[in-house]
């Protein structure tokens, strides 16, 4: 019985009807980038058409410009200070921008960027909820139909999988990535090397699936591919061969390509794979090939260019379909939050390991600092130093408890964010708030658990319940501040690996200027300002003043005076909360600009 969420358990097949034709036209596309040696021309005035109802394949050796062309057709490349783009890209002879592209088309990246702890069906359901109209049952039926079309029934309830989680195979993962985009029934779909990393059988099944999708539903399917097998080659309806940023062939696939090159003196051997042969004569590393390029270009200009111009002239010019669905910010936030809850429950690194870590480390530290003498136990200066050491170390531990998992998980999840935000499933605000609301729970709850374990083991100030509550409150806000800094590091750097490497480096100055190793008044003026952005300074001040403040007789040494703090208990807590807010706001700003910086 299929799981559709209905009372009867039956699936009402959702039919994705034929779409009005959408032909993608491009005229005189030129693209160059600035290098140390001067401008480098990537595309040199190419023009052509990707036809609806057909499988359009773009082939070329590495550096030929095929992926650049695909990205330009999808409006993923624009002119910048270091690059220049000119020419026209039209859909049914109508100009469109990146936002309009998502109304009728979609793009599938080469890398299968999916959340590893989501099942195949849940991935489709999330996309359906944000990209399609209809009731919950209609969306469920659409999901089940997509699962069936992609032949994913066997693994629909299996995790996608990844580094830490066992999951589906590479071919199933690729089909899931494609289905994730097809769920909205776009009129055109663009794919960057959909067979990359797959075995020949799986690669064939992917291309055959795309061909059926194009033919049966009148879709425009365009993709780049590096070196297809002969079986895959026979599936192509329209072929574009590229060399050094120019076309050397554009037109019907199969024997038509062989006949064209035969007519200009390049005969494909009878029993060889045509794709292998053409790739061999296009490869730029061969001097003989490079010398033949002018012949390829002349053959294209004299025999094919006029035909391509006619194809452009005869392309469809009907109204563009609009498949985009507008959902509210609140709905988007709710969907992202629910997905984040599933991730939290299922990822052992995020939840289970952290829970065990909190308990074990708290017990271990509590045993080390067991029952430090208080004011009624005639404490020595050594006892005071021990307690100061515990309080400072504890602040660092509470901060790191949330910072480390965030650094490890946020960069990997942000790739998913970039993909989904680019596809306009949601905007930055719902993603940020939906994720933060859920991530804030463990960031606050694990410090609470740890504090309740260690507080009485160490023998901290329990003169009244307010002391205990304040200590836990400081640790919870400190944990949230660690989360905020993790978000900041994960969104500030364009390179995810750089974020992982650099963010922990901030901890050293934060610790040195916290007032534990050196009194705040003794810092040199030119560098002392660092203390005011150190969360450890405010947390250490707050918990230390809380610990050494007694209604009755206190410590004879007056540890608060020794440490020479410049703020009170509550003002320190307020400053810590201010840092938390500051880190969070800045991380939101960086996240909002991340896509532009990455591109």
Assign residue 192 a region: left if phi > 0, alpha if psi is -120 to 50, beta otherwise? beta
Cβ-Cβ contacts under 8 Å for 195 (sequence gap 6 or more): 202, 203, 206, 207, 225, 228, 232
Mean pLDDT, residues 319-337: 88
Under the banding of pLDDT at 50, 70 and 90, the label for residue 305 is very high
The per-residue pLDDT for 10 is: 41
Tell me: pLDDT of 526 over 90. no
At how many degrees (to 10) do helices 535-548 and 465-492 cross? 170
pTM of the model: 0.83
Contact 576, 489 (CB under 8 A): no
Tell me: pLDDT of 555 over 80. no
The answer to whether the Cα torsion of 297, 302, 308, 313 is positive or negative is: positive
d(CA 316, CA 53): 12
d(CA 50, CA 219): 11
* Average pLDDT of the chain, as a whole number: 88
Tell me: pLDDT of 319 over 90. no
Residue that is written with structure tokens 């079986």 in the block? 231
The per-residue pLDDT for 12 is: 41
The per-residue pLDDT for 330 is: 95
The per-residue pLDDT for 349 is: 63
Share of the chain above pLDDT 90, in %: 55
Mean pLDDT, residues 237-263: 95
Give the C-alpha distances (Å, rounded to integers) separating 12 from 5, 126, 163.
12, 19, 36
Tell me: pLDDT of 4 over 70. no
Under the banding of pLDDT at 50, 70 and 90, the label for residue 81 is confident
Question: Which CATH superfamily hosts domain 24-313?
Answer: P-loop containing nucleotide triphosphate hydrolases (3.40.50.300)
Higher pLDDT, 367 or 318: 367
Mean pLDDT, residues 320-334: 87
CA-nearest of 359, 361, 343 to 409 is: 343
Tens digits of per-residue pLDDT, 160-195?
988 778 899 989 999 999 999 999 899 999 999 999
Under the banding of pLDDT at 50, 70 and 90, the label for residue 17 is low
Mean pLDDT, residues 194-210: 90
Mean pLDDT, residues 222-234: 93
Tell me: pLDDT of 159 over 60. yes
The per-residue pLDDT for 3 is: 40
* Parallel/antiparallel/unpaired status of strands 105-108 and 188-192: parallel
The per-residue pLDDT for 553 is: 67
Tens digits of per-residue pLDDT, 42-66?
999 999 999 999 999 999 988 889 9
Mean pLDDT, residues 561-574: 87
Tens digits of per-residue pLDDT, 123-143?
999 999 999 888 899 999 999
Mean pLDDT, residues 146-160: 92
The per-residue pLDDT for 2 is: 37
Where in the chain are the domains? 24-313, 329-598
Tens digits of per-residue pLDDT, 450-483?
999 999 999 888 888 999 999 999 999 999 999 9
The per-residue pLDDT for 378 is: 81
Tens digits of per-residue pLDDT, 278-303?
998 888 777 777 888 899 999 999 99
Minimum mean pLDDT range among 36-40, 419-423, 438-442, 558-562: 558-562
R_g of the chain, CA atoms, integer Å: 30
The per-residue pLDDT for 13 is: 41
Residue that is written with structure tokens 């829970």 in the block? 355
- And the tokens for 230? 């002969």
The per-residue pLDDT for 7 is: 38
The per-residue pLDDT for 79 is: 86
The per-residue pLDDT for 98 is: 86
459-496 residues labelled b (16+ CB within 10 A) or e (exposed): bbbeeeeebbebbbbbbbbbbbbbbbbbbbbbbbbeeb
Mean pLDDT, residues 506-526: 81
């Amino acid at each position: 019985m299929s799981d559709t969420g209905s009372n009867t358990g039956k699936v009402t097949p959702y039919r994705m009807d034929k779409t009005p034709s959408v032909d993608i036209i491009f005229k005189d596309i030129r693209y160059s980038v600035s290098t140390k040696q001067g401008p480098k021309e990537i595309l040199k005035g190419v023009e052509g058409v990707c036809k609806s109802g057909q499988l359009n394949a773009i082939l070329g050796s590495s550096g030929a410009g095929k992926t650049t062309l695909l990205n330009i057709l999808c409006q993923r490349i624009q002119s910048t200070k270091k690059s220049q783009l000119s020419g026209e890209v039209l859909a049914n002879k109508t100009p469109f921008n990146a936002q309009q592209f998502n109304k009728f088309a979609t793009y599938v990246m080469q890398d299968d960027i999916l959340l590893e702890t989501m099942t195949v069906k849940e991935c489709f359901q999330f996309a359906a909820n944000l990209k399609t109209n209809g009731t919950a049952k209609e969306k469920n039926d659409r999901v089940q139909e997509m699962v069936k079309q992609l032949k994913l029934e066997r693994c629909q309830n299996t995790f996608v999988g990844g580094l830490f989680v066992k999951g589906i195979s590479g071919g199933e993962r690729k089909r899931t990535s494609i289905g994730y985009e097809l769920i909205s029934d776009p009129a055109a779909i663009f794919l960057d090397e959909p067979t990359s990393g797959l075995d020949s059988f799986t690669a064939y099944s992917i291309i055959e699936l795309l061909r059926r999708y194009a033919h049966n539903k009148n879709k425009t399917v365009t993709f780049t591919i590096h070196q297809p097998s002969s079986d895959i080659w026979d599936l192509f309806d329209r072929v574009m061969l590229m060399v050094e940023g120019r076309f050397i062939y554009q037109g019907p696939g199969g024997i038509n390509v062989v006949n064209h090159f035969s007519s200009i003196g390049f005969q494909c051997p009878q029993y060889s794979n045509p794709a292998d042969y053409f790739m061999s004569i296009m490869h730029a590393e061969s001097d003989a090939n490079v010398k033949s390029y002018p012949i390829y270009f002349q053959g294209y200009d004299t025999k094919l260019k006029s035909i391509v111009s006619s194809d452009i002239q005869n392309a469809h010019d009907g109204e563009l379909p609009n498949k985009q669905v507008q959902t509210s910010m609140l709905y988007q936030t709710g969907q992202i939050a629910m997905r984040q809850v599933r991730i939290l429950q299922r990822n052992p690194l995020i939840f289970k390991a952290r829970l065990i870590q909190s308990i074990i480390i708290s017990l271990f530290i509590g045993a080390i600092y067991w029952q430090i003498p208080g004011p009624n136990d005639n404490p020595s200066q050594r006892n005071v130093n021990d307690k100061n050491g515990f309080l400072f170390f504890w602040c660092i531990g509470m901060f790191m408890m949330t910072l480390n998992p965030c650094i490890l998980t946020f960069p990997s999840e942000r790739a998913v964010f970039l993909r989904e935000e680019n596809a306009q499933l949601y905007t930055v605000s719902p993603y940020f708030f939906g994720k933060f609301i859920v991530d804030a729970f463990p960031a606050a709850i694990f410090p609470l658990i740890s504090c309740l374990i260690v507080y009485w083991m160490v023998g901290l100030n329990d003169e009244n319940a307010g002391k205990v509550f304040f200590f836990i409150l400081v640790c919870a806000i400190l944990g949230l501040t660690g989360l905020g800094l993790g978000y900041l590091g994960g969104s500030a750097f364009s390179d995810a690996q750089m974020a992982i490497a650099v963010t922990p480096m901030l901890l050293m100055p934060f610790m040195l200027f916290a007032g534990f190793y050196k009194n705040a008044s003794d810092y040199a003026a030119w560098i002392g300002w660092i203390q005011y952005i150190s969360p450890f300074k405010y947390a250490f001040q707050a918990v230390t003043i809380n610990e050494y403040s007694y209604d009755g007789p206190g410590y004879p040494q007056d540890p608060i005076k020794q440490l020479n703090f410049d703020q009170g208990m509550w003002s320190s807590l307020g400053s810590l909360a201010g840092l938390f807010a500051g880190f969070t706001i800045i991380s939101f700003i960086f996240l909002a600009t991340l896509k532009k910086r990455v591109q």
